[in-house]
Amino acid sequence: MEKVSILMLLLWSFFCADVCRAQQISGRVVSAADSSGLAATVAVKGKGIMVRATANGNFVLAFVKGDTLVFSATGFLKTEIVPPAQLQQELLVALRPYRTELNEVVVSTGYQQVRRSRSPGSFVQVDQALLNRSVGTNVIDRLEHVVAGLAFNKVGSSRISIRGQSTIFGNAEPLVVVDNFPYEGNLSDINPNDVESITVLKDASAASIWGARAGNGVIVITSKKGEANKLPQISFQSNATLTERPDLYARSQLASMEYIAIEQRLFQEGFYESARLSGYLPLTPAVQLLYRKKEDPASAAEVDAALSRLASVDVRGELERYYYRTALAQQYALSISGGGKMDSYYVSAGYDANREALVGGAFRRATFTANHNMQLLSGRLEINTGLNYTDNLTTRNSSLSVLQSNSTATGQLFPYAELAGPDGRPLALERNYSSELLARSEAAGLLDWRYVPLDELGRSGEQTVSRSLRANAGLKYRVIKGINITTLYQFQDMATTVQLENDADSYLARDLVNRFSRVENGGLVRPVPLGGVLDRQQQQLEGHLFRAQADLSRTIADRHQLTGFAGYEIRSARTKGNASRLYGYDSEHAQNGMVDYVTLTNPMFYDSGIRSAIPFLDRTSMVTDRYLSYYGNVAFSYAGTLTASLSARMDKSNLFGVKTNQNGVPLWSAGLAWNLSREKFYGLGWLPELKLRASFGYNGSVNKSVSAVTTASFTGYTVGQPYATIINPPNPQLRWERIRIVNFGLDFALRGNRLSGSIEHYIKQGMDLIGDAAYAPSSGVLLFRGNLANTKGSGSEVSLRSVNLEGTLKWGTSLIFSHQRETVQDYESEATVARQVQSGLFLPRSGRPLYALYSYRWAGLDPADGSPRGLLNGQPSVDYPVLLNQATLDEIVYHGPVRPAAQGSLINNLDYGNFSLSFNLVYRFGHYFRKNSVVYGNTYGLSSGHGDYRLRWQYPGDEQKTFVPSVPSLANGNRDIFYRYSEVLVDRADNVRLQDVRIAYSPKNASLKKYGLDSLQLYVLATNLGTLWKATRFDVDPENQDGRFARTLSFGLRMGFN
């Protein structure tokens, strides 16, 4: 006890001695750029003592003479100061912004951290400020309109693309990398609030290190991490977004009166006779009334009154009332981060709850993230661990899509359908079967076969449950100064289950039971058991990735800097899937009935002459992908002025042939950067930053739909006997697609950063792309798919930032502009003229864009009968078979691309006191669209239901004021096709929109401290505010012909405290 007392006394004496020597120091930390206060961390070096400055930068700290104070703040250079022994006034410390020179930021490529000022690569980094300017569940959506060259496509298989598309049948999506690893999961699993920054790699020098997966560009997502020597910081973010319900009246469609008038004409011509004679096909209420009037002339007045009433009904009102609502998306995120002397941590939890516009639709997401960094052996050994878990639940109501495909003569829902009576009671509609058949089925003892749309709202639903787990660990060991060895490992496990359940009372379940039912020997036989129907699809992905890498960073004689790394990685991903259907399903007891799938000739109750097998949906699949890669990069910089870099990578995969893997597929790049403004001879004071960049190299692309060996699919359900279909003939020479990229760039900044930015030009060439070619007919394979095609593209990008006003009112502007041109160079399987025009928008043709618009030449309407006319031998003609099938390439019209050739945005930011205002104008130019219009078919326009019907030619002279053809006296499919794909319906899609307006309030005074807050921001964001200008002469939105984009209004807050 005595020894303990002496020890405590000694410790107390040391403490008292230190306290006696301690002094109080007060001061303020400000930004050197604008003298605004900074909530910086002030620490006593080597003692673990630290305080946090207020939002205005004020701090008070106890220190001892000779102590070194360390000042740090996010986005600013760390500064160390030894205060004088006798400080007469408050200490004022000015921290320099980290970006004190052009592009002086560090970006991540997924393999290394690169100082952009010395890199020849084309990078764009989106920081937290820009990411947080918008809201949304999906982090990638926040990149729209803020990155030059990154496009969100309205047309095509790829939702997003970087600098166009350089593949034809391959995966056109960019590679997404999350915390150094390729991301295989659903992007909606990533919580945007956990993201520190996003870097877009666009050229070969930046992206080629990712080799065969970088041909479409790379998006690198870096998660938030903690900071060492930092007090715990707690951050909370929340926002709610309201999205207006869809405007169903914005779409051009036939009015009920017009619809019934056409039905009357069809009735008079006997169009519905075959349906009525069938005994089971349904008829619309108007047609039933017309038959009643025909069979009972005395009811004419009553029928006319009923038809007049139906003509005043508009089902869109009931659809909006019962099926649509205002959507609401809520997002919450809570995180804590900090660190001690030798470790740092970041832990967060997020929750999203979205109510979709369609009744019954919802999305729920819960996320958890934990990142930890620890240093051992005096900082020589660094251990990093990360864990991310996401749990998603999506529900969807499919009853509306069933309703809109109502099986009447036109196959669509008629506009005067009534879903509920005056008292709100749900009403039945005839679907698939007539009322006569329903009466007969009821007499036979079948289930109630009526279709009541509103009752279906709660009887069927689709549910998607997905869970994603990512765990990674890394070791980094400093062998000697400038040489590190790093090993990384990631485990990824994702499971998705899609379940569509139709309960026993649902129309689908009742229809299946009744359809296969039959009466035998006075009894009822039901091959499909009573109960619900459960469709289930499951998919699971398990991935492993290991990487070993050596890093070098040495400075020689203060002027020469050598950096580089080399390594290898092994990646394996196995995807398993299965699908099944259970009949007679009882969800309460988890039981189902037995079904006879063998009998292929079950008679249908509604027509015993029609026979069918019970639908069989079971299937299984498994795919294993394995990759082995070797890679390396070296860069040499001289005096910060000249930098040369070289990257190389070799990929191998089990997807490709033996010869390809034996030889390997080397992909490489080289780049050169020259920082002119750092040269001694440079003397342009008004342009203090000027840098030139150039790079050249090859990236790759993967197409998993082909294989080097013969592949086939096997089935036996359709005909009762097993048979095989060849999917891919043998192709041992199959190899990676390659994309060659040349890039030139210029970065600059005027004095005081009044104007800064970059200008780039690139040339891309797709080589060895997967394409189609004719195959020997005797083989049984129609097309051979292999490395047969090439593409070429080029473009320019401009990114500008300006400081327009400084002082009390601050005004800054950001402009991005990108222009691209891409064409198919070589393609062996050229399509026919008719297919080029009618196939849609995706059609490879040499010398043209991959997504292009073609049309038949237009020669106006025939003055005699209003028929559409084309040009045949230079003369107007209505010989449609010849116009469609014998036209040459020179006789069709090529309009241009359907994707914008030029696009960008203009963001203005204004700050005044605690308030800020930001608004974004977006523009798209140089593309075309085809307007939707009426297609008459054999129903005089009922099937399409388009409102252009009312603009049709009706009398001689109408051809002077309309281009919509007359209703033909006889159905003529070729006539419809010619009009539908004629040039008269094509126009420019150029447009300018006010994308969003954001208003924020961010108090910057000490009053927050009394509430325990360190920072606070309240904001309002409105999006999709309207089209300011469009080039088209048509009264439609070229980006959304079915109406207009729903406007949204978001409210949010961000707060931080420690």
CA distances from 962 to 165, 947, 954, 969, 1042 (A): 38, 14, 10, 19, 21
Q: Would the CA dihedral through 392, 397, 401, 402 be positive or negative?
A: positive
CB-count burial class (<10 Å; 0-12, 13-18, 19+) for 843? buried
Nearest C-alpha neighbor of 594 from the set 574, 614, 611:
614
Band (825; pLDDT cuts 50, 70, 90): confident
SS3 960: helix
Question: What local confidence, expressed as pLDDT, does residue 18 receive?
Answer: 41
Band (75; pLDDT cuts 50, 70, 90): low
Question: What local confidence, expressed as pLDDT, does residue 9 receive?
Answer: 40
Helices (H), ranges, 323-420: 399-404
Band (640; pLDDT cuts 50, 70, 90): confident
Tokens of 873: 């031998």
Question: What local confidence, expressed as pLDDT, does residue 23 receive?
Answer: 75
Q: pTM of the prediction?
A: 0.85
- What letter represents residue 144's amino acid? E
- Range 852-874 average pLDDT: 93
Question: What local confidence, expressed as pLDDT, does residue 726 receive?
Answer: 73
Band (481; pLDDT cuts 50, 70, 90): confident
pLDDT at 15 over 60: no
Question: What local confidence, expressed as pLDDT, does residue 977 receive?
Answer: 93
pLDDT at 87 over 70: no
Question: What local confidence, expressed as pLDDT, does residue 409 receive?
Answer: 60
**Cβ count within 10 A of residue 507:** 22
Torsion of CA 117, 123, 127, 129, to 10 degrees: 100
Question: What local confidence, expressed as pLDDT, does residue 10 receive?
Answer: 37
Band (999; pLDDT cuts 50, 70, 90): very high
Cα(293)–Cα(305) distance, integer angstroms: 12
Question: What local confidence, expressed as pLDDT, does residue 1 receive?
Answer: 43
* Share of residues in the chain with pLDDT > 70 (%): 91
- Range 737-743 average pLDDT: 93
CATH of domain 2-95: 2.60.40.1120
Residues 136-151 have pLDDT tens digits of 899 999 999 999 999 9
Nearest C-alpha neighbor of 840 from the set 981, 979, 984, 934:
981
Tokens of 206: 């930046």
Band (238; pLDDT cuts 50, 70, 90): very high
Q: What are φ and ψ of residue 578, in 5° steps?
A: -155, 155
Residues 643-677 have pLDDT tens digits of 999 999 998 877 655 555 545 678 899 999 999 98
Question: What local confidence, expressed as pLDDT, does residue 181 receive?
Answer: 92
pLDDT at 639 over 90: no
Cα(739)–Cα(717) distance, integer angstroms: 42
Cα(751)–Cα(761) distance, integer angstroms: 25
Which residues lie closer than 8 Å to 340 by C-beta, 6 or more apart?
Answer: 48, 228, 229
Give the largest Cα separation in the chain, rounded: 121
* Mean pLDDT of all residues belonging to the chain: 88
Cα(528)–Cα(514) distance, integer angstroms: 8
**Cβ count within 10 A of residue 59:** 23
Question: What local confidence, expressed as pLDDT, does residue 223 receive?
Answer: 94
Question: What local confidence, expressed as pLDDT, does residue 736 receive?
Answer: 80
* Of the candidate ranges 136-140, 208-212, 304-308, 352-356, the one whose mean pLDDT is the lowest: 208-212
Residues 508-561 have pLDDT tens digits of 999 999 999 999 888 899 999 999 999 999 999 999 999 999 999 888 887 889
CA distances from 1051 to 21, 709, 975 (A): 52, 55, 52
Residues 614-638 have pLDDT tens digits of 999 999 989 888 889 999 999 999 9
Question: What local confidence, expressed as pLDDT, does residue 107 receive?
Answer: 78
Residue scoring higher pLDDT (781 or 908): 908
Residue scoring higher pLDDT (625 or 450): 450
pLDDT at 6 over 60: no
The residue behind tokens 């995180």 is 335
Question: What local confidence, expressed as pLDDT, does residue 378 receive?
Answer: 86
Q: Would the CA dihedral through 67, 68, 73, 74 be positive or negative?
A: negative
Residue scoring higher pLDDT (62 or 965): 965
Residue scoring higher pLDDT (411 or 27): 27
Please name every residue paired with 180 in a beta bridge, in sequence order, or none if there are none: none
Residues 1020-1044 have pLDDT tens digits of 999 999 999 999 999 999 999 988 8
- Beta strands 181-182 and 195-201 are unpaired
- Contacts of 437-445 spanning 24+ positions with Cβ under 8 A: 437/279, 437/280, 437/606, 441/514, 441/605, 444/517, 444/519, 444/524, 444/605, 445/524
Residues 296-327 have pLDDT tens digits of 999 999 999 999 999 999 999 999 999 999 99
Please name every residue paired with 636 in a beta bridge, in sequence order, or none if there are none: 562, 644
